[in-house]
A and B are shown apart, each in its own frame.
Chain A
């Protein structure tokens, strides 16, 4: 299924935690809420003055937070399709990444101003400003119980923060120091998955500070599928968590894939890209790549309990464009 409607590149797409909606945000300054089943457009949320980089659903699926190049974070009441009156102001530069805490009471945001901010969602008040990085913060995430937050930056560092005290507890760095473009905690909170601009996705044991897996789907792809597409653009790669094998590559986007999310049932993947479209992928029981598909099933199925994660799924694409996945958006703006 392909959802069209955005006028410019779509920077992020997210399933709501209850699985009913898909939210997408775009460089055309709008957020669109789609019905996850039918694909019908439910709401178009307008209010930001510049392109939107990131969105995050509150755990109860009632609210949506969005971060934009206008330096604001806005909260939206999804049911009513309205913007909350007070935006979260404080960042000095583009807001580039966002995540709700599992309880929905806090937001963490990363910005081009190199800081990570922790917000009290209820009062739209800045709680903590973490002097996190020396380059734009490209990704943030909360761990499952909300006690830790992770941030990553183009300076090549991944930092783990204690949300209670605001202290940095750990720093992860790969020796190549490649810019990190996104960071996610695993569903059980023991690992972080980070995508870097050296065409790798790495799984870190953050307690020991050790990289346990390196996924290199991009290169595989180059050889196998290069014929169909000019460069690496427009493909989504699925890896097996343990064996590091590429399970499947999905192609269909005619440009860079910017955002990806996995549905509640683990059978659905939604992706978006600079080609202004959103695509929904459903897993077919008789997929062509069946041989590789089988072993992944138990892992994918068990994800139900843990909500949405993309631990074995990372987007490919902009690796060689020199900017982070979402980075294409602010650059388009300027």
Chain B
């Protein structure tokens, strides 16, 4: 509802400018993911904990624990209604969480460390996972006791004339990353040997393969429209690829021919990229860099570098772009904090004094004909009251506004999910964890304590309320 009052020049900005917030929970954040609505940010830590941050308050909204302690959380994925969260860890498990009460809806052991797991865009009980030195699997979690795992092919589809020496080439060929298309009809996977495979979800067969490079593919991301593909490979090149409409019924697998649209790389410094992401409308591509503190942002029209975001003096790991706003989040590799970049919003002084208008230059003031005429006050008042004859509508909400509030999803009010606000979170806010041990004396919270907390979490079935109950007397030092 703030849009009509916001400075249009601010709305026109689509790239964040400066570091605006640091989020911190217990543990070192390694992977992050915005909810579809964009009001929450989930983060997984290197110790197996998961924190949900509220971006309105920049505070922690929920902590959930259930993965094996000290095993890194590898990936997070939100369900379409933002109520469920899928997490995967190198402890072989994937867990589906219900954020209503922080409970575990499904736990599934996939038999191998998980690289990445992603929920089906519309079915929260289906997900795809890429596993370490194993075939990627499509997991059906519908049946709680017996989740079904359907293996997907690792190997690319080859033309018949390439079949001969395929056996040698296919040795040690595994999938490193898998992602659903926005309709969930297909899965796009990347392999250790630089192949990109498109696999149909229904037949579980590869319908198209393309070799991008000879090095492993690190990350594949799809834009919200599903027509753009972003691939980060270990050959220091980020590629964008245009996809055909995979859902169209008259699409023939043979007719697919993907071509690389842009290649982004740093030819001079030979930087390699830790993590990549599309902007909300896929007009921009950003990447965090290995051994470097900056985030690079390119625009896709001409493929030119438009911005280098500077911020903390440390290397950045996972980067994420907010689903609707010019807001970027990234995790610090050393500190494990989450950093947020946004646009600068200067105060407009005319907003404070309604009689004033901000002008670029001095203007000659031209007096209106009757501007300073004197009328009897009573008459003026009566006239003004008489003019208030329009019909006002204080109830109807604009369609546009409803759309914004619902983020265009086909949800109605009844099944809209709102995460409950927990008031007994304890001191789990965005600052460093510092404990008051006496008047004016503080010490940093010991890591031993932190670990014991995670062990508690394991025993208590990840009940964030219980495990945090005893933290209530901690104090945060004001900066």
Residues of A within 8 A of B (CB): 58-60, 63, 75, 77, 84-86, 101, 103-106, 120-125, 127, 143-148, 159-160, 162-165, 167-173, 186-191, 203, 206-207, 209, 211-214, 241-242, 244, 299, 302-303, 306, 311
A241 to B389, CA, bound (A): 11
The 0/1 profile, CB within 8 Å of A marked 1, for residues 389-421 of chain B is 011111111100100110000000000001011
Contact A188 B427 (CB under 8 A): no
**Given A103-B39, A203-B392, A214-B385, also A122-B59 (CB < 8 A):** yes
Contact B394 A186 (CB under 8 A): yes
Q: Cβ of A101: which chain B residues have Cβ within 8 Å of it? A: 56
Q: Cβ of A242: which chain B residues have Cβ within 8 Å of it? A: 390-392
Say whether B352 faces chain A, with CB atoms less than 8 Å apart. yes
Contact B429 A120 (CB under 8 A): yes
Contact A122 B54 (CB under 8 A): yes
Q: Cβ of A188: which chain B residues have Cβ within 8 Å of it? A: 393-398
Contact B397 A144 (CB under 8 A): yes
A77 to B422, CA, bound (A): 11
**Given A103-B39, A105-B61, also A171-B1 (CB < 8 A):** no
**Given A105-B54, A191-B394, A242-B392, also A122-B421 (CB < 8 A):** yes
**Given A165-B345, A186-B394, A311-B394, also A207-B4 (CB < 8 A):** yes
A239 to chain B, nearest CB (A): 12
Q: Which residue of B lies closest to A162 (CB)?
A: B2
Say whether B472 faces chain A, with CB atoms less than 8 Å apart. yes
The 0/1 profile, CB within 8 Å of A marked 1, for residues 16-42 of chain B is 000000000000000000000001000
- 15 examples of A-B residue contacts, CB within 8 angstroms: A60-B421, A101-B56, A106-B56, A120-B57, A122-B423, A125-B429, A144-B397, A145-B401, A148-B1, A148-B5, A188-B398, A190-B394, A191-B392, A207-B4, A213-B388
Contact B394 A170 (CB under 8 A): no
Say whether B301 faces chain A, with CB atoms less than 8 Å apart. no
Q: Cβ of A147: which chain B residues have Cβ within 8 Å of it? A: 1-2
Say whether B68 faces chain A, with CB atoms less than 8 Å apart. no
Q: Cβ of B2: which chain A residues have Cβ within 8 Å of it? A: 147-148, 162-164, 169
Which one of A59, A75, A189, A206 contacts B397 once the chains associate, using CB atoms below 8 Å? A189
Q: Cβ of B472: which chain A residues have Cβ within 8 Å of it? A: 85-86
Contact B354 A171 (CB under 8 A): yes
Contact A306 B395 (CB under 8 A): yes
Interface residues of B in 310-369 (CB under 8 A from A): 345-348, 351-354
Contact B56 A105 (CB under 8 A): yes
B343 to chain A, nearest CB (A): 9
Contact B5 A170 (CB under 8 A): yes
Contact B394 A84 (CB under 8 A): no
Say whether B179 faces chain A, with CB atoms less than 8 Å apart. no
Which one of A122, A169, A213, A214 contacts B61 once the chains associate, using CB atoms below 8 Å? A122
Q: Which residue of B lies closest to A143 (CB)?
A: B1
Q: Cβ of B423: which chain A residues have Cβ within 8 Å of it? A: 63, 75, 77, 84, 121-122, 124
**Given A101-B56, A190-B394, A242-B392, also A162-B418 (CB < 8 A):** no
Say whether B6 faces chain A, with CB atoms less than 8 Å apart. yes
A332 to B323, CA, bound (A): 51
Q: Cβ of B352: which chain A residues have Cβ within 8 Å of it? A: 159, 168, 171
Q: Cβ of A213: which chain B residues have Cβ within 8 Å of it? A: 388, 392
Contact B5 A123 (CB under 8 A): no
Q: Cβ of A63: which chain B residues have Cβ within 8 Å of it? A: 421, 423
Say whether B99 faces chain A, with CB atoms less than 8 Å apart. no
Q: Which residue of B lies closest to A176 (CB)?
A: B381
Say whether B60 faces chain A, with CB atoms less than 8 Å apart. yes
B334 to chain A, nearest CB (A): 25
Contact A169 B428 (CB under 8 A): no
What is the size, in residues, of chain B's interface with A at 8 Å between Cβ atoms? Answer: 48
Residues of B within 8 A of A (CB): 1-2, 4-6, 39, 54, 56-61, 345-348, 351-354, 384-385, 388, 390-398, 401, 404-405, 418, 420-425, 427-429, 472, 476
A212 to B54, CA, bound (A): 37
Contact A167 B397 (CB under 8 A): no
Q: Cβ of A123: which chain B residues have Cβ within 8 Å of it? A: 57, 59-60, 425, 427-429
Q: Cβ of A173: which chain B residues have Cβ within 8 Å of it? A: 354
Q: Cβ of B54: which chain A residues have Cβ within 8 Å of it? A: 105, 120, 122
Q: Which residue of A lies closest to B327 (CB)?
A: A164
Q: Which residue of A lies closest to B404 (CB)?
A: A145
Contact A162 B6 (CB under 8 A): yes
Q: Cβ of A168: which chain B residues have Cβ within 8 Å of it? A: 347, 351-352
A172 to B476, CA, bound (A): 38
A120 to B55, CA, bound (A): 11
Contact B395 A127 (CB under 8 A): no
Q: Cβ of B395: which chain A residues have Cβ within 8 Å of it? A: 186-188, 299, 302-303, 306
A212 to B58, CA, bound (A): 37
Q: Which residue of B lies closest to A172 (CB)?
A: B354
Q: Which residue of B lies closest to A120 (CB)?
A: B57
Contact B347 A167 (CB under 8 A): yes
Which one of A103, A171, A190 contacts B351 once the chains associate, using CB atoms below 8 Å? A171
A276 to chain B, nearest CB (A): 31
Q: Shortest 9 CB-CB distances between A and B: which pairs?
A: A186-B394, A120-B57, A169-B5, A147-B2, A104-B421, A165-B345, A207-B4, A188-B397, A143-B1
Q: Which residue of B lies closest to A127 (CB)?
A: B57
A170 to B347, CA, bound (A): 11
Q: Which residue of A lies closest to B396 (CB)?
A: A188
Q: Cβ of B390: which chain A residues have Cβ within 8 Å of it? A: 212, 242
Which one of B5, B57, B401, B422 contacts A207 once the chains associate, using CB atoms below 8 Å? B5
Q: Cβ of A77: which chain B residues have Cβ within 8 Å of it? A: 423
A203 to B393, CA, bound (A): 11
A334 to B347, CA, bound (A): 38
Contact B5 A212 (CB under 8 A): no
Contact A144 B394 (CB under 8 A): no
Q: Which residue of B lies closest to A158 (CB)?
A: B354
Contact B57 A122 (CB under 8 A): yes
Q: Which residue of A lies closest to B394 (CB)?
A: A186
**Interface centre among A103, A123, A146, A164, by most B CB within 10 Å?**
A123
A221 to chain B, nearest CB (A): 17
A144 to B394, CA, bound (A): 12
Q: Cβ of B397: which chain A residues have Cβ within 8 Å of it? A: 144, 187-189
A103 to B2, CA, bound (A): 16
Q: Which residue of A lies closest to B425 (CB)?
A: A122
Instruction: A188-B395, A188-B398, A214-B388 given; name 18 further pairs at CB < 8 Å.
Output: A60-B421, A84-B423, A105-B421, A120-B429, A122-B54, A122-B61, A124-B423, A127-B58, A145-B404, A148-B1, A148-B2, A163-B2, A168-B351, A170-B351, A173-B354, A188-B396, A189-B1, A212-B388
Contact B6 A169 (CB under 8 A): yes
